[in-house]
Structure 1
């Protein structure tokens, strides 16, 4: 038994010596030995880890993959076996120990990117039921994604990579899914990965991109190698969450030939609108003609609708306070406020009919990032139908207190990214003004502005457009209306926004 063990160790030493002498040209016998001892899950992990190194063979048989890497001098077997936790093979096949590999990984550049290592670590900590839940959640993001029930987490990530929804610097979708299945521990792993990108001491990025993968192989036995590439940190925020991407000065070119900034287009330039419900839709209708239509419309879009009719200014302010305090905002992706009332161009009267009313400019302040932290970084949409009361019909005095300090919404939530987004960002403000005489001529008719808005939002074809494009069409319809209507019934539409991204409402299949 002892003689057999010594003989086996001698053979392993010979193979390792040959491995070193040939500068990583691994003998076929050693590749065969390792291949035979790997199970299917381990092979899948290795294929995933090597996807950047040989992208055209990423789904190949493990033997073909090893052969292609070997020909290119990129077969870092020590690191790969370490990543899949086959420490026994490190010892028996390569004659090295786990601690030695860890030392080399700490000293020399790595073959496998930190991003792929992270995904493999998450894969190992998810059970089948959790992966099944992830597959279900992803139907909202990519309805036509072909996902079989037995697909692993790494298989899911690979599919998302093909669609440019997931990348080393684009992990928000994975984070959101982990949040939804209550794996906060794994979400924190991703956040730690992002943070480490900020604390790079040298010029090397924290992950290997396509350009770096094409550089000479960096193996555990090679001397330290410097590519000379400078990296610059660039911050971007996705629905309030700070994401840091390290972009090389040299533009990396993907397989398709598109530049990196083109590849990142798509879900990077739009707000996340996937929570269920999408958010709270607060409707305050002090006229009473549009509540039912608006409620049906925004419920169909997937919002939790809260309707209030015929409020006084004080009741409206109290409603704003209560809604801004709601903890549900933490889990929702957006917020909508719709106001329908008489007023002046700059204020809202509600049912009080007194001047100066409540300043519209202060309405949005209830929901800005500093007043309502749970909505920081999320789109906040305001649609205002103002029936303008002429100055000579406004009551000249008012006992309303309009200059008092607004109660700031407090929260126990602390966010590390809270200073990265201005509190006034992410606001979409659409205000339509029309003379109050429209109501006098037909007291029960709804607002043409709100009718058109509802019609456009309920049309699945129009919903494929961004909200900005929908609003352009809405504006066009109002202009068409004005050309054929009495001048006193003309609608005037004002749009102001501080959006950082595009807004798309989900299109249900």
Structure 2
């Protein structure tokens, strides 16, 4: 026995004292420490961690602290609650903050509220098994398996908490996000560019909420090579100048006719004509939809994602214009929860749309942000999945080759000028139609777009200023044909 290990009789003694719910919480807390033992019971899991020298007396005391068994801390481990708290205050933690947060939320939910969450989640994961007696932690595990929830991907459960009016739990999540953001900025780098393509759980929506729980500077890729972490690629309108990024020299193939499908969904109605003309001039097969409700938009997205013609095209573009919030769009329904932007992206990743495997997928989103007190609570949308089976070997991660450009402006912009187009989309169209600018790579074009938005904000009323964020997992340079 090494000095790091815990005597087996202590593990046995503690396990004997715990009830079923406490055991479930402990297993959930340890889930990231031994992913290969996801189905093990508590005793088996703790013994395995002990043998792998991942469990120390401090770690065991933290687990008891997290499930609030302070009596066992004192009686079995001969330590006090204050001692554990002092240990944790020095950031000597075994359990990631995300797992702790989920357990805290679990303890604050009534049984009927968990049932309501299970019912609401059918809209987002219709194939998820919803047992009547399923716990909140079990629901979270199911959502993690579907890549709908992760340490930096909590928008879905936030929306569900809004629907059951648990604003206190939303505040807990927001506090976690803020703390993770600060931790990420000050100490934790994030994955960028080509290497991001190896991260299947990459969230392209609000990257400041990266988990902040990685402990090392390298991560193993699927092929066994080492991945070095780098500074984030972030282009916000508050930043000027170039952002360094390393790209492979060989560009994406952009020769097909048509160049790809361009799907435009404009729920405001002011930008469709200009966008259609712009992307047709680039060689895209453009399909436009105006004033869709959420069900109609969902069906339009699913239909386009299932088209076989993607196999004969070299790229895909999706443009969305709608009222919404930071994580969702409302279409014409103005629903409280909205349609998750993350779900829109997933419709066109390799598992849902194999015809776009390895090809660039560009998303341009204009969100007119509605404040929470103006949102209306109505029924949630049922989001269906893609039934198409794809058995070919996937060698490129499913989150690869995505460019996500998200622009936000307050909805009051529309109220002041209901027929005006989006400055962001108007500038994008101008740049793509300019024969000189079109020779630039897509990332350089976006940098020009960033500058135009920044210049606009210098003279605009604060309520009319645009916020622009670019995230991407492009693995190569991308040029439109000239």
The TM tier, using the shorter chain, reads 0.3 to 0.5
TM-score by length of 2: 0.48
Higher relative contact order (CA 8 A, sep 6+): 2
Normalised TM-score (structure 1)? 0.45
